[in-house]
């Protein structure tokens, strides 16, 4: 049996790409989902067909609810015994300045990006003495722009949590983060949306899922790396260019 990975929010988009990529490298994958059950089932079936010697399964949990988040690692332990990798990828991305952010909207972002990863990291550290945790943050953590205030602040918290956890759970568990930039348009928007935003980006073009996957490979392959952040953002964290 190979190494196993739990990917949150894995049924679609970036989470799905991470799952397919890791499966191709020989990992067993636990596909976490909340509302996208059909996509999760379809992904697991596809992976089973492509890699019949590996194990794949799906698990449902609403990660905005702590009691559900706390079921995840115990479920995985009962099915797989242990896992070697947790990717905290699940996310919500709702635009609102501070002035327009409701208490519920604030809690939703902080529960999914901060509290749940905190609980999952805690449980991972409790159950397993070795492994990797990768937190998907966002290049927006470097900006004070408030267009996605609760999103950006909760992702800043996830980056702080990354460093704290890296220290606490060393040397057995490495904890790192990836900060994507313009990778996939939000649902309902097309690539023109990204190309327009990319005009002020240092690299002058959107990135691709491949950039994030290469960052993940870099983290997994470098076993002296912990508490680090890889910006997969074409330099957006530096600021916008004037030209």
- Binders in 176-215 for ligand NAP, by CB under 6 A: 180, 182-184
Binding mask 102-131 for ligand NAP (x = CB under 6 A): ----------x-------------------
For 32-92, the three-class secondary structure string (H helix, E strand, C coil) is: EECCCHHHHHHHHHHHHHHCCCCCEEEEECCCCCHHHHHHHHHHHHHHHCCCCEEEECCCC
CB of 22 to ligand NAP, least distance (A): 15
Q: Is 138 in the site for ligand NAP (CB under 6 A)?
A: yes
Instruction: Give the SS3 label for residue 134.
Output: strand
Would you state the structure tokens that stand for residue 19, as one six-digit string?
């799952």
* 192: enclosing H helix or E strand: helix 191-197
| Beta carbon nearer to ligand NAP, 19 or 54 | 19
Q: Is 22 in the site for ligand NAP (CB under 6 A)?
A: no
Q: Which of 19, 89, 152, 156 binds ligand NAP (CB under 6 A)?
A: 89
Q: Which of 149, 152, 141 is nearest to 100 (CA)?
A: 149
CB of 1 to ligand NAP, least distance (A): 26
| Beta carbon nearer to ligand NAP, 2 or 208 | 208
Residue nearest to ligand NAP (CB): 9
Between CA 92 and CA 164 the distance in angstroms is 23
Would you state the structure tokens that stand for residue 113, as one six-digit string?
């990006």
| Beta carbon nearer to ligand NAP, 210 or 223 | 210
Burial 71-108 (b: 16+ CB within 10 A, else e): ebbebbeeebeebbbbbbbbbbeeebeeeebeeebbeb
Number of residues that bind ligand NAP (CB under 6 A): 25
Query: Judged by CB under 6 A, which stretch of 5-13, 43-51, 72-80, 169-177 contacts ligand NAP?
Result: 5-13
**Footprint of ligand NAP on this chain (CB under 6 A)?**
9, 11-15, 33-36, 62-64, 89-93, 112, 136, 138, 180, 182-184
């Amino acid at each position: 049996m190979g190494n196993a990975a739990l990917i949150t929010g894995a049924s679609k988009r970036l989470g799905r790409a991470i799952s397919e990529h890791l499966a191709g490298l020989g990992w067993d994958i636990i596909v976490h989902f909340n509302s996208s059950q059909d996509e999760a089932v379809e992904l697991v079936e596809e992976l089973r067909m492509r890699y019949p010697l590996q194990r794949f399964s799906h698990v449902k949990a609403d990660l905005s609810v702590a009691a559900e988040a706390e079921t995840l690692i115990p479920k995985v332990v009962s099915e797989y015994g242990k896992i070697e990798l947790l990717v905290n990828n699940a996310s919500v991305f709702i635009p609102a300045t501070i002035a327009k952010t409701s208490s519920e909207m604030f809690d939703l972002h902080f529960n999914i990006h901060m509290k749940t990863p905190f609980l999952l990291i805690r449980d991972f550290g409790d159950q397993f003495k070795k492994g990797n945790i990768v937190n998907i943050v966002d290049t927006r953590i470097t900006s004070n722009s408030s267009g996605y205030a609760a999103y950006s602040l909760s992702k800043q918290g996830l980056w702080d949590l990354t460093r704290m956890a890296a220290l606490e759970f060393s040397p057995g568990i490495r904890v790192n983060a990836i900060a994507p930039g313009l990778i996939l348009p939000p649902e309902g928007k097309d690539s023109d949306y990204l190309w327009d935003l990319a005009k002020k980006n240092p690299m002058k073009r959107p990135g691709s899922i491949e950039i994030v996957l290469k960052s993940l490979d870099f983290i997994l392959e470098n076993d002296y790396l912990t508490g680090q952040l890889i910006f997969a953002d074409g330099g957006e964290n530096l600021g916008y260019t004037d030209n």
